[in-house]
Structure 1
Amino acid sequence: MIVAENLTKRYGDKTAVDGVSFTVAPGRVTGFLGPNGAGKSTTMRMIVGLDRPTAGRVTVGGQDYRRLRSPLTEVGVLLDAKAIHTGRSARNHLRAMAATHGIGAQRVDEVIELTGIGAVAGKRAGGFSLGMGQRLGIAAALLGDPHTLILDEPVNGLDPEGVRWVRQFVRHLAGEGRTVLLSSHLMSEMSQTADHVIVLGRGRVLADAPLPELVRTWTTTTLLVRSPRLSDLVTALEIPDATISAVEPGAAQITGITPETVGDIAAAHGIPLYELSPRVGSLEDAYLALTDDSVEYKTKEIA
């Protein structure tokens, strides 16, 4: 379990993390989201002792990371896949890490095969592609078979097979009761992977909730309706809170009303329906609505 309590980090007059509190519980995948500059990377660095908090504290398994006697076997970390000795082979890089904790060569071979880098394990890590570097970083994080896993953008550069493997593997680890904190900007992937989501914006927690609850709270369900008597249906649906907008001839989008109500009203007026489809908002929709005022580096929209 990871517990942050009023975690704060300032760099001069810049507050990167501002009184952040959250709990990453075991047994589920917790997604860690936020725009660039939101404080995610700084928070993760403080979790593993690379940055010292200005105020507050964060513990892993009830302890300060710096006090862990065997960090690799307690916490697996991928923050920067390029943090390797570029002149070493992948296997020797992992062996050097393993030697610091008395981890045997057999475990090194296991994580090499597990992450699919067996064919290049003897090659210099500095020549790896982005995807292979990510796989090596994940192998390093798994080396000590840790109870807690912290991965920052682990699918960056991976091919579809690798992305699916990461998704299935972290869910498997969570299913074993381990603690998994996963950061990513890929909302579609996060929606398939995370059980719970923490969203940061400008250094503060904007949301901390189960993923379905977050989507339900920050999105609106839209109904797509098709009917040969659409104008009659629109007239019949002129009730408070219902908003109707035309999509194309014979079709409209409706919000503020349930599909059951639309169906009942259409039946009562003898209006045939060719389609009545609820379209539920996505994690991406919820994320964009939630962080709209917290984007520090906002691009110009294309008209």
Structure 2
Amino acid sequence: MIEAHNLTKTYGAKTAVNDVSFTVRPGAVTGFLGPNGAGKSTTMRMIVGLDRPTAGWVTVNGRLYREHTSPLSEVGALLDAKAVHAGRSAENHLLALAATHGIPQSRVKEMIELTGLQSVARKRVGGFSLGMGQRLGIAAALLGDPQTLLLDEPINGLDPEGIRWVRALVRNLAAEGRAVLLSSHLMSEMALTADHLIVLGKGRVIADAPIAEIIGGATQSGVRVRSPQASVLATALTAPGITVTHVEHDLLTVSGLTAGAIGDVAARDGIALHELTPVTASLEEAYLQLTNDDVEYRTGAPVMDLEVSR
């Protein structure tokens, strides 16, 4: 379990993390989201003692990280897949970590097999691809069989098979009763993996709730309506506060009315319906609505008329 209490971190005049409190509970995957510059990485670094809070504190399994006599056995962290001596082999990197905690060599072999690194275990890490480096980072995080895990962008650089493997891995770890804090910018993957979300914006917690609650609280896109009499139905639905958009000749998107109300209008006027589907917000839409006012680095509109020299 991770418990953060009023965490604050400043760098001169810059406040990277501002009075952040949250709990990452066992038995669940907690997604950690936020725009670039929101304070996610700084918070994760404070959890494992790499940055000292300006104010507040954070404990892992009831203690400050530095108070654990065997930290690898308490919390496994993947914060930077490149933070490995490039001249070492993957196997030697894991053996060195194991030696610091009295972890048997058999556990190193298990982690190499679990992460699919058997064929490159004795190759130098400096020649690894990003995806292979991520697998090694996950192996290191799991080496001490910890009850708490911090994984910062673990699927970055992985192929589809690797992404699916990480998803299943973290779900299984949570099912075993471990606490998992997972950071990712891939909303579609987070929607499939996380049970709970903590969202930061400009250093503050702007959401801390189950993922279904966050998605359910977002503005819905409307109702998808398919009918061979779409134009007639569109006219029947015309009223203040209702927006009807023609998507195809027989397909409408209606906002401002529930699916039931649309069905009642169609039944009243004898209009056939072939589809009546509420369109709920995706996690990406919910996230963008939440963080709309908290994006620190906002890009401009894309320029579409660039000349390309040949």
TM-score (norm: length of structure 1): 0.97
3-state SS of the aligned residue for 2:198?
strand
Gaps of 5+ in 2: 305-310
Q: Which residue matches 2:300?
A: 300
Amino acid at match of 1:284: E
CA separation in 2, counterparts of 1:231 and 1:35? 42
Amino acid at match of 1:267: A
Q: Tell me the residue number matched to 1:109.
A: 109
**Which residue number corresponds to residue 9 of structure 1?**
9
SS at match of 1:100: helix
How far residue 225 of structure 1 moved from its aligned partner, in angstroms, is 1.2
- Following TM superposition, by how much is the alpha carbon of 1:88 offset from its aligned partner in structure 2, in angstroms? 0.8
Tell whether 2:84 aligns with 1:84: yes
Between 1:254-263 and 1:137-146, the stretch displaced more is 254-263
Counting matched residue pairs gives: 303
**Match for residue 34 of structure 2?**
34
Q: Deviations over 1:155-214 (max 9, x none)?
A: 010111111010001000100110000000000110000000011010011111100110
CA RMSD of aligned residues (A): 1.3
- How far off its partner does 1:222 sit? 1.9
Instruction: Point out where structure 1 has 5 or more consecutive residues left out of the alignment.
Output: none
Partners of 2:67 and 2:192 in 1: CA distance:
35
What's 2:275 paired with? 275
State the partner residue of 1:237: 237
Deviations 1:248-282 (A, max 9, x none): 33322112322122112211210112322222211
* One-letter amino acid of the counterpart of residue 6, structure 1: N
- C-alpha displacement at 1:90, in angstroms? 0.4
Q: What amino acid sits opposite 1:125 in the alignment?
A: V
Which residue does the alignment assign to 2:307?
Answer: none
Identity over aligned residues, as a percent?
A: 67
Deviation at residue 229 of structure 1 after TM alignment: 2.6
Distance 1:164 1:212 in 2: 21
Per-residue CA deviation, residues 70-123 of structure 1 (Å, 9 max, x unaligned), is 100000000001111111110000000000000010000000000000100000
1:21 aligns with 2:21: yes
Q: CA–CA distance in 1 between the matches of 2:251 and 2:169?
A: 42
CA contact (8 A) 1:219 1:282 kept: no
3-state secondary structure, aligned to 1:285? helix
Once residues 173 and 136 of structure 1 are traced to their aligned partners in structure 2, the CA distance between those partners, rounded to angstroms, is 17
- Matched residue, 2:100: 100
Structure 1 SS opposite 2:69: coil
Q: Give the Å deviation of 1:221.
A: 4.2
Contact 1:153–1:185 at 8 Å: present in 2 too? yes
Amino acid of the residue matched to residue 41 of structure 2? S
SS in 2 for 1:181: strand
